[in-house]
Amino acid sequence: MFPIAFGLGALIWFSIGIASLTTMAIGLVVIIIFAIQASQGHLPSIYIWYGVAAEALLIWALRPNIKKLMAGNERVIGMSLNGWLRARKEAKAKENK
């Protein structure tokens, strides 16, 4: 499970570049992985509920970040695709002034 969650987390991180959104997305990925493994009989189904509870705690803990996301003020990492596109957009806006 770790390689899948880590790989998808890295992909989300470097494409979106927002730590709080990446954290919540990884939580959802883990729930999906638990559900798939439970449906195949590899894990007990209670693991799905553990994942849901962990995701609920994450969302509760990240409430301030979610408010920033909704307002469009959450910090974007410059090394990500999203950060690069934003920097490019800002540079064009300065150029056009």
Q: Pick the residue with more confidence: 97 or 87?
A: 87
Indicate the domain borders of the chain. 2-96
Q: Say whether 62 sits in a helix, a strand or coil.
A: coil
pTM beyond 0.85: the answer is no
Q: Give me the percent of the chain exceeding a pLDDT of 70.
A: 100
Alpha carbon 94 to its chain centroid, in Å, reads 30
The yes-or-no verdict on residue 87 having pLDDT over 90 is no
List pLDDT tens digits, range 51-61: 999 999 999 99
Q: Round to the nearest angstrom and report the end-to-end CA distance of the chain.
A: 50
User: What is the C-alpha separation between 4 and 32, in angstroms, rounded?
Assistant: 11
Among 27, 18, 2, which residue's Cα sits nearest to residue 75?
18
